[in-house]
């Protein structure tokens, strides 16, 4: 079968089911157009990788806390190294960090580290964490030239100064180097849906994913999101590896639920994404993903590790909503039309305002697509407190 001919279609019945993922939590979409069919054109695999989403440990989330991991916005790399080692051992049950890493990576792999530089310099994938991941990969025999730190936007990578902060020999790839730059996308691999009558209804997957990498380590940040509710593992992979995704937003409506999940089902992205390490050093509880308001940034001093992006995002969602309650702000599930504003400046100053009817239900929707566990009662949430 030619890969162009491999098509998975989500009909209106399925999409309608997914829209109920927020029922009972206040999620509503008054006036939003009906969810269109979503067609996933991916590479057919006779046998999907057992390492791919939801991975070796569905439903398992390891949370590692250290009180001195960050202070005054300065991240301690030695402490990060220890947190990463302990988290990897607990996740896998292995007795050594090297053995834990070998559960996912082999020396011949070309390993992509999918960062999230969006929001730099306030909240972005900490270079200290990225460097420790690279050191771990090198320690099990992966050559420096086989390690690729990448993201969608080259200019955001530059804003995060990654070019000066990652070890020599490691590759740094920005998928888009300018406005409307589609030269680094694979036109055979895409998701197709017409949300608001846009002229281009396809979102294409990056060539670095389809043609170069053999494994992906996903390093999202811990942030709320004005449209999706939160941005975590799922959104960092889906909206960070495909182009033309902003078309899913037309204020006050957004189709992040269910589109994020469908993007993450696309092969080969699904099979190559083998590990998630969420940077919870800083937690943005309002104004994400691009906040510059330090009043909404909390030093959570935490790393989350797992192979199940749905489980990890579920834990992240609960933590961010808990912080919002503590601060007296409305829930990310609150879609009362009275909370809406068309003034982005007001949104970035007022945690009781929304730009969109937020869609945190995208996480449970992804779970229904087989990408992981979204039921808190079924998640094996392991908490390590280091000193």
- Give pLDDT tens digits for 180-193: 899 999 999 999 99
* pLDDT value, residue 295: 96
Residue with tokens 């988290």, as numbered in its chain: 87
* pLDDT value, residue 47: 72
pLDDT above 90 as % of the chain? 88
Question: Mean of the pLDDT values across residues 50-75?
Answer: 97
In this predicted structure, the answer to whether residue 1 has a pLDDT above a threshold of 70 is no
**Residue 354, CB half-sphere, CA atoms under 13 Å: how many?**
27
CATH number at residue 363: 3.40.50.11440
- Give pLDDT tens digits for 149-206: 999 999 999 999 999 999 999 999 999 998 889 999 999 999 999 999 999 999 999 9
Question: Mean of the pLDDT values across residues 60-68?
Answer: 98
In this predicted structure, the answer to whether residue 234 has a pLDDT above a threshold of 80 is yes
* Sequence-distant (≥ 6) Cβ neighbours of residue 191 within 8 angstroms: 38, 39, 40, 41, 202, 203, 242, 259, 262, 263, 266
In this predicted structure, the answer to whether residue 207 has a pLDDT above a threshold of 70 is yes
* pLDDT value, residue 24: 39
Question: Mean of the pLDDT values across residues 288-303?
Answer: 95
* Sequence-distant (≥ 6) Cβ neighbours of residue 145 within 8 angstroms: 169, 170, 171
Mean pLDDT (the chain) is: 92
Residues 302 and 220: their CA atoms lie apart, in Å, by: 13
Q: Under a CB-based contact definition with an 8 Å cutoff, are residues 193 and 36 in contact?
A: yes
Segments forming the whole domain that contains residue 27: 3-385
- Give pLDDT tens digits for 239-250: 999 999 999 999
Question: Mean of the pLDDT values across residues 89-98?
Answer: 98
Residues 114 and 96: their CA atoms lie apart, in Å, by: 24
Question: Mean of the pLDDT values across residues 317-327?
Answer: 98
Residues 209 and 366: their CA atoms lie apart, in Å, by: 20
pLDDT above 70 as % of the chain? 92
Residues 35 and 17: their CA atoms lie apart, in Å, by: 10
Q: Under a CB-based contact definition with an 8 Å cutoff, are residues 370 and 48 in contact?
A: no
Tokens matching residue 217: 């380590």
Question: Mean of the pLDDT values across residues 346-368?
Answer: 97
How many structural domains is the chain composed of?
1
- Give pLDDT tens digits for 9-45: 444 334 444 444 444 355 567 678 899 999 999 997 6
Name the DSSP class of 242. Answer: B
Tokens matching residue 300: 């959570």
CA 192 to chain centre: 20
The backbone torsions φ and ψ at residue 301, rounded to the nearest 5 degrees and listed phi first, read 60, 40
Q: Which residue has the higher pLDDT, 59 or 10?
A: 59
Rounded to the nearest 5 percent, the helix, strand and coil shares of the chain are: 35, 25, 40
């Amino acid at each position: 079968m030619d890969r162009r001919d491999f098509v998975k279609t989500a009909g209106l019945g399925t999409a309608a089911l997914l829209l109920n993922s927020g029922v009972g939590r206040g999620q509503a979409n008054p006036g939003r157009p009906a969810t269109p069919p979503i067609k996933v054109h991916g590479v057919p695999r006779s046998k999907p990788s057992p390492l791919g989403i939801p991975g070796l440990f569905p439903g398992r989330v390891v949370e590692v806390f250290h009180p001195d991991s960050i202070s005054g916005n300065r991240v301690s790399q030695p402490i990060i190294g220890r947190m990463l080692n302990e988290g990897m051992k607990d996740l896998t049950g292995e007795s050594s960090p090297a053995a834990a890493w070998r559960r996912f990576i082999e020396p011949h792999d070309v390993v992509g580290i999918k960062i999230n530089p969006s929001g730099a310099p306030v909240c972005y994938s900490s270079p200290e964490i990225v460097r420790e991941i690279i050191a771990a990969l090198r320690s099990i025999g992966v050559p420096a030239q086989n390690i690729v730190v990448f993201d969608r936007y080259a200019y955001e990578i530059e804003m995060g100064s990654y070019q000066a902060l990652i070890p020599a020999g490691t590759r740094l790839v920005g998928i888009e180097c300018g406005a409307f730059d589609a030269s680094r996308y694979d036109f055979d691999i895409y998701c197709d849906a017409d949300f608001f009558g846009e002229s281009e209804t396809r979102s294409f997957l990056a060539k670095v994913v389809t043609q170069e990498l053999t494994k992906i380590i996903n390093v999202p940040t811990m942030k709320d999101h004005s449209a999706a509710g939160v941005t975590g593992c799922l959104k960092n992979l889906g909206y960070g590896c495909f182009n033309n995704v902003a078309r899913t937003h037309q204020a006050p409506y957004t189709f992040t639920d269910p589109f994020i999940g469908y993007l993450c089902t696309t092969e080969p992205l699904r099979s190559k994404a083998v590990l998630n390490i969420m940077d919870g050093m800083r937690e943005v509880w309002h104004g994400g993903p691009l906040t510059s308001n330090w009043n909404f940034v909390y030093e959570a001093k935490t790393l989350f590790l797992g192979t199940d992006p749905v489980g990890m995002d579920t834990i992240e969602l609960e933590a961010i909503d808990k912080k919002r309650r503590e601060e007296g702000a409305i829930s990310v599930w609150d879609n009362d039309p009275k909370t809406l504003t068309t003034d982005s400046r007001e949104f970035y100053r007022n945690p009781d305002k929304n730009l969109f009817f937020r869609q945190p239900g995208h996480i449970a929707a992804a779970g229904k697509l087989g990408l992981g566990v979204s039921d808190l009662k079924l998640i094996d949430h392991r908490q390590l407190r280091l000193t």
